Amino acid sequence: MKIFNLTKTTNFFDPSLNNKNSFINFIQKSKKENNKTASDVEKIINDIKKNGDEALIKYCNKFDKTNYTKATDFIVPKADFDNSEKILNQDIKNALKEAYSRIKDYHQKQLPKNFLYKDKLGTKLGNSWRPIESIGIYVPAGTASYPSSVLMSAVPALVSGVKKIIICTPSSSQVINPAIIYAAKLCNIETIYKIGGSQAVASMAYGTKTIKKVDKIVGPGNSYVTYAKKILFGEVGIDMIAGPTDITIIADKKNNPNWIGADALSQLEHGFDSKAFIITDDLPFAQKILQSINTLKEKLPRKKIIDQSLKNSAIFVVNNIDKSYEIANFIAPEHLEIATKNYQSIAKKINNAGAIFLGNYTPEAIGDYIAGPSHTLPTLGSSKFSSGLSVYDFLKRISIISCNKKSFLSLAKNTEILAECEGFQAHKLSITIRKNDL
């Protein structure tokens, strides 16, 4: 993890300071697109489209250490749903139940309202919200397993009124975490397929003999999953193009460096390409944070992953913590913690963030599991133009327009003029033919 001392500048984005060793270049740099991965994904997608279940079995056996011989092998049987409740200890079940309840309560408050009004001409205008009919949830299970992702994706969909939900999650030797099954059971999801990677995304997008095509696919995944979603967008709806997870922490020098270090580690342990950026107002404090990170990581089982992700991470030391929002908005983080005395005033100046965690007692991990908002958030700086997963991702807005004879005639002339202007004579005709018959 690098430390950038920015205390000698008042303009963080002075063009003369932007060179290959600058903090701006460090933030912006990311791994180049892996063309081989993209090529592999396209081949897998085309194979699934052409050969369906047969191709699915082949790729599961190749990538997930399975030994499937028929399509029914990758369907989680009903008995596993029943057993999941018996296998899990009560503490895990209680935690998942509380998370389910809190996520549901939060998203119920997001539900938009229909509206319909009559304008001064007598035209009725409005919109009506309708749920997407079917979705597929991808639940990662590579270096870790994520029952929380089941809840964070499924509950907003349920609140929105989605009727058909399926899950795809990779298995290890044909076994999946019973906590994933139990979380699905809490959400009344009865169909889980033990398949992962781009083959799972393609199967949900195109459908196979065993898996029915869905209207939208949501949920995070590795680079193969991300490429597949990117390629298949249009064939099916997707939630977002997700990249490596990241966190930015704004912390003044009065903080506990161990707390800040632990919060950075909470994201760095996700994967080799995860990122953590810390903005503080004191160089000695920055050094204490780095020392804390180096000490704490030695006790963690995912230390090898953390050692790699630390290479993508940095601490920025500024003169005035009140100006930290400028760097934060430039980063446009997935997660933003503001652990300062004046966190409310800084938060008001944040335009770009997937989720903001305020105060010393709101570590990002609270949001990952139990706070309420979905933990599926925009990455790679995309919080500049997008938001985290919510009920809106599972709803369609339908416009409603209704003219009576009087309002039609009031709007007819200008409609004809605009249709003529654009060269669409049939558009004009559909107006004129009615006028002539009145």
Per-residue pLDDT of the chain (438 residues; tens, 9 = 90+): 999 999 988 788 877 777 777 888 888 875 555 566 788 999 999 999 999 999 999 999 998 888 999 999 999 999 999 999 899 999 999 999 999 999 999 999 999 999 999 999 999 999 999 999 999 999 988 666 789 999 999 999 999 999 999 999 998 777 889 999 999 999 999 999 999 999 999 999 999 999 999 999 999 888 899 999 999 999 999 999 888 999 999 999 999 999 999 999 999 999 899 999 999 999 999 999 999 999 999 999 999 999 999 999 999 999 999 999 999 999 999 999 999 999 999 999 999 999 999 999 999 999 999 999 999 999 999 999 999 999 999 999 999 999 999 999 999 999 999 999 999 999 999 999 999 998
Helices marked H in 248-301:
257-268, 283-296
Q: Could you report the per-residue pLDDT of 62-115, keeping only the tens digit for each?
A: 988 889 999 999 999 999 999 998 999 999 999 999 999 999 999 999 999 999
Q: How far is CA 203 from CA 12, 110, 386, 387, in A?
A: 47, 31, 27, 27
Reduce the secondary structure of 135-199 to three states and give it as a string. EEEECCCCCCCCHHHHHHHHHHHHHHCCCEEEEECCCECCECCHHHHHHHHHCCCCCEECCCHHH
Q: What is the pLDDT of residue 223?
A: 86
For 9, other C-beta atoms within 10 Å of its C-beta total 13
Measured N-to-C along each axis, helices 90-108 and 178-186 cross at an angle, to the nearest 10 degrees, of: 40
Q: What is the pLDDT of residue 438?
A: 85
Q: What is the DSSP string of 302-363?
A: THHHHHHHGGG-EEEE-S-GGGHHHHHHHH--SEEEEESTTHHHHHTT----SEEEESTT--
Domains of the chain: 35-238 (3.40.50.1980), 243-385 (3.40.50.1980), 403-437 (no CATH)
Considering the candidates 269, 270, 334, 364, report the single residue annotated as catalytic: 334
Considering the candidates 335, 337, 364, 375, report the single residue annotated as catalytic: 335
Q: Is 335 a catalytic residue?
A: yes
Q: What is the pLDDT of residue 33?
A: 55
Cα–Cα distance for residue pair 149/409, rounded to 1 Å: 53
Q: Is 427 a catalytic residue?
A: no
Q: How far is CA 391 from CA 105, 107, 153, in A?
A: 12, 6, 10
In this prediction the pTM is 0.91
